[in-house]
Amino acid sequence: MATDGWGIDDGYQDARGEWRTIAPETIAAVRAAMDAGGAPPSAERRIQVVRQHQTVRIPSGRLYLEDGSHVDLRRKRLPPDIPIGYHDFRPKRGEGPSIRFIVTPGRCPLPKRGLWGWAGQLYAARSQDSWGFGDLADLRRLAVWARSHGAGFLLVNPLSAASPVTPQQPSPYYPASRRFLNPLYLRIEEVPGAASVAGDLEWLATAGKALNEQRVIDRNKVFELKMHALEKIFGRVSSDRAFERYCAERRRDLAEFATFCVLAEKLGGDWRAWPSEFQRSGGPAVARFVDDNRERIRFHQWLQWLLDEQLARAGEESAIVQDLAIGVDPGGADAWVWQDLYAQSCTVGAPPDLYNRQGQDWGLPPFIPHKLRAAGYEPFVQTLRATLRHSRGLRIDHVMGLFRLYWVPHGLDATHGAFVRYPADEMLAIVAIESQRAGAFVVGEDLGTVDEEIRALLAAHRVLSYRLLWFEDEPPASYPELSMAAVTTHDLPTVAGLWDGHDVRAQRALGLDPNEEGLRAIRDKLASLGHLDEEARADDVVDRAYQLLSGAASYVATASLDDALAVNERPNMPCTTTQWPNWSLALPGGIEALEKSPLAGRIAAAMRKRGRTKRLSKGATLKDRRSPPVPGSATHGVDADQTVD
């Protein structure tokens, strides 16, 4: 295999082990999306990764530290006590280029060995008090329940913001912004000032709670009811010091996001269809728009503050582990702000494999590697920092995106894509910095074909691998220690759906081409490992699957909320759009059913065998005095050589 100067591979080995050469027209389309004219770029801004206490020779000059201070360097080397973070060096005139030093601990914190937690979709885990949608108060209640069963954390779907318009985007993996949260997750009754308009909210709450009667979530109706309620409350609240501090902390990023939201309300949810004068976030027309709409912009800033407060309260009850989507909506807020860094005429996907024979196109624009690097990785840093806020762990969806992404040019199908390489060493250094500062462990979703060299590099950075009972040939006791173990994922069959054949029947009914041989092999493996009779009941099979998983050698393991209720349907059916209620199926009976579920109790009893777990606590981190607080963040660092307690 050869890789050109733009990072484009000339071919790849597919899931069957066969070599696929990339067509010239695909490579040409990918280069065009990169603005790849002329010679391959040397980075417009030089980047150098440095491990703490590493000796680095440099010319004389001035080092501007991340906290705003500076150091004049005359000994022509970096100070040995330079804190972790992002620092800019400017040499004396004529002595070389400027350099951004990424000073990294090199490794992410590890969780306590034997830790386990529940994993699920928050929107699905609603209660009788919800307005048809699992919210952050439900997350707090779920956290109390999970802790009572001995779980150490909750792994939830991305909580990222969608554009504030209808129809609402159902997929949490297709966010308008990965830096901000979705107001659908607000518990209205807990918003400060809600009591002052209780009479006006009564009919809205009644209508919202009535939505719990239907299994398929109606996001559009939930959005309309909650926005109506929030507008009423906002009209009655006065300024709050905590809100003002939040606005000052998030500064320009929050202002830009709120501005996008108001523009979207007036012009539609896709900035690419707006009048040209509004398509640039820094343009004069946008500045005038801000002046004319300050109160509505403030309303959207207030929503983000409310979300931040409610998420923080949930995190006080149990550690929250968040999931980071691989990309963003091309018409959303992040793509609007950073549009020059995204490849607008390509999307991210996956080549054909044994379970998706036509490949996948996820519709998400990729960052252009050399442009992201030239920007000092600022969008990547902001995204990680925002996702780790109030979190004690991070699951990076499709972690191979730190190494390479499969680009699908517009106009071609997913069988005609190409892999593009990214500067993995630099991106992993940033992951280590941000996770260390947050005191959070990191899991990389590395399913599929992954080179062992890449897995070794992830392990060296203490990024946990992701191991599924469905896919592993060996029993859980043989899984690598540096991993998170699970039975299945949101894109794969639940235990009950696999065992009773519901999943295969659903795929056939949708006109898909299920890999029945592969699914049958998984079922047979489960029967063999679990010594299960073919006529075993689904809930007994679920119980046995988690007894097997409890023996995993992995540092961390998760149990699925769907399996705790023996749900037949998977949350998402790949290769479908409207044919399946993707990301819209509520847990039958909601949190109340979980709290009463004997099966959930049996799963928890099995998982507790992994050993006594300690709940992850923000207060339990070990402070690293050499690392200053992140500017604009309340979190501090932990020693990367220590475990997260």
> Got the DSSP string for 322-334?
EEE-S---TTSHH
Q: How far apart are CA 205 and CA 218, in angstroms?
A: 15
Mean pLDDT of 28-34: 96
Q: Which residues pair with 75 in a beta bridge?
A: none
- Helix, coil or strand: residue 344: coil
Cβ pair 361, 413 in contact under 8 A: yes
Tens of pLDDT, residue by residue over 262-321, are 999 999 999 999 999 999 999 999 999 999 999 999 999 999 999 999 999 999 999 999
| Strand (E) or helix (H) holding 593 | helix 590-596
Q: How far apart are CA 37 and CA 400, in angstroms?
A: 27
Cβ pair 409, 31 in contact under 8 A: no
Q: At what angle do helices 424-438 and 452-460 cross, to 10 degrees?
A: 40
Q: How far apart are CA 113 and CA 630, in angstroms?
A: 28
Backbone angles phi, psi at 248, to 5 degrees: -65, -35
Tens of pLDDT, residue by residue over 107-140, are 999 999 999 999 999 999 999 999 999 999 999 9
Q: How far apart are CA 162 and CA 520, in angstroms?
A: 37
CA distances from 126 to 122, 139, 613 (A): 7, 9, 26
Instruction: Give the model's pLDDT for residue 151.
Output: 97
Tens of pLDDT, residue by residue over 465-502, are 999 999 999 999 999 999 999 999 999 999 999 999 99
The one-letter amino acid code at 28 reads A
Nearest to 111 by CA among 602, 625, 614, 541: 614
Q: How far apart are CA 523 and CA 498, in angstroms?
A: 7
| Strand (E) or helix (H) holding 558 | strand 556-560
Mean pLDDT of 613-618: 45
Cβ pair 489, 448 in contact under 8 A: no
Instruction: Give the model's pLDDT for residue 13.
Output: 87
Cβ pair 444, 458 in contact under 8 A: yes
Tens of pLDDT, residue by residue over 398-435, are 999 999 999 999 999 999 999 999 999 999 999 999 99
Secondary structure, 3-state, 528-545: HHHCCCCCCCHHHHHHHH
Range of weakest confidence among 9-18, 314-323, 535-544:
9-18
- Judging by beta carbons within 10 Å of its beta carbon (0-12, 13-18, 19+), is residue 291 exposed, middle or buried? exposed
Cβ pair 182, 223 in contact under 8 A: no
Residue 47, pLDDT above cutoff 70: yes
Instruction: Give the model's pLDDT for residue 42.
Output: 65
Q: How far apart are CA 231 and CA 224, in angstroms?
A: 11
Q: How is residue 178 annotated by DSSP?
A: E
Number of C-beta neighbours around residue 571 at 10 A: 25
pLDDT band of residue 611 (cuts 50, 70, 90) is low
- Helix, coil or strand: residue 295: helix
Q: How far apart are CA 127 and CA 562, in angstroms?
A: 15
The one-letter amino acid code at 399 reads V
Tens of pLDDT, residue by residue over 574-604, are 888 899 999 999 999 999 999 999 999 999 9
CA distances from 335 to 202, 331, 343, 416 (A): 38, 6, 10, 24
User: 623 is written with which tokens?
Assistant: 């402070």
Confidence (pTM) = 0.92
Mean predicted lDDT score pLDDT of the chain: 91
Q: How far apart are CA 42 and CA 423, in angstroms?
A: 13
Cβ pair 184, 176 in contact under 8 A: no
Residue 344, pLDDT above cutoff 90: yes
Tens of pLDDT, residue by residue over 240-270, are 899 999 999 999 999 999 999 999 999 999 9
**Could you tell me the end-to-end alpha-carbon distance of the chain, in angstroms, rounded to an integer?**
44
The one-letter amino acid code at 227 reads M
Instruction: Give the model's pLDDT for residue 81.
Output: 86
The one-letter amino acid code at 157 reads N
Residue listed under structure tokens 């109606």: 218
Cβ pair 187, 137 in contact under 8 A: yes
Q: How far apart are CA 600 and CA 149, in angstroms?
A: 9
